[in-house]
Amino acid sequence: MASHRKSRTPGTRVAGIRTPALATAALTSVALLSQTAEAAPGEDRPSLEEVEKKVGDLYRQAESATEKYNAAKEKTGKQRKRVDTLLDDVAKRTQKLNEARSELGSYAAAQYRTGAGMPDTATFLLAETPQDIFDQRQVLDRMTGRQKAAVDDYVTQQTETMKKRQEATESLRTLTETQGDLKTAKATVQKKLADARELLSKLTAEEKARLAAIEKRKQEEAARKAAELARQQAEQEQAREEAAQQGGGASEGSGSTGSTETPPADSSYGTKAAKAMAFARAQIGKPYVWGATGPGSYDCSGLTQAAWKAAGVSLPRTTYDQVNAGTTVPVSQAQPGDLVFFYDDVTHVGIYIGNGMMIHAPKPGTYVREESIYYDGDSAIHSIVRPA
- For the question of residue 4 being annotated catalytic, the response is no
Report strand pairing: 381-386 vs 369-372.
Answer: unpaired
C-alpha span between 185 and 175 (Å, rounded): 15
Which listed residue (186, 348, 363, 386) is catalytic?
348
- For the question of residue 360 being annotated catalytic, the response is yes
Contacts of residue 274, Cβ cutoff 8 Å, sequence gap at least 6? 311, 336, 337
Which listed residue (54, 192, 317, 360) is catalytic?
360
Q: Are 60 and 189 in contact (CB under 8 A)?
A: no
- Indicate the burial class of 285 (C-beta count within 10 angstroms; 0-12, 13-18, 19 or more): exposed
Phi, psi (deg, nearest 5) at residue 82: -65, -45
C-alpha span between 72 and 181 (Å, rounded): 6
Which listed residue (189, 300, 315, 373) is catalytic?
300
What is the SS3 string spanning the chain?
Answer: CCCCCCCCCCCCEECCEECCCCCCCCCCCHHHHHHHHCCCCCCCCCCHHHHHHHHHHHHHHHHHHHHHHHHHHHHHHHHHHHHHHHHHHHHHHHHHHHHHHHHHHHHHHHHHHHCCCCCHHHHHHCCCCHHHHHHHHHHHHHCCHHHHHHHHHHHHHHHHHHHHHHHHHHHHHHHHHHHHHHHHHHHHHHHHHHHHHHHHHCCCHHHHHHHHHHHHHHHHHHHHHHHHHHHHHHHHHHHHHHHHHHHHHCCCCCCCCCCCCCCCCCHHHHHHHHHHHHHHHHCCCCEECCCCECCCCECHHHHHHHHHHHCCCCCCCCHHHHCCCCEEECHHHCCCCCEEEECCCCCEEEEEEECCEEEECCCCCCECEEEECCCCCHHHEEEEEECC
Q: Any idea which residues carry the catalytic annotation?
A: 300, 348, 360
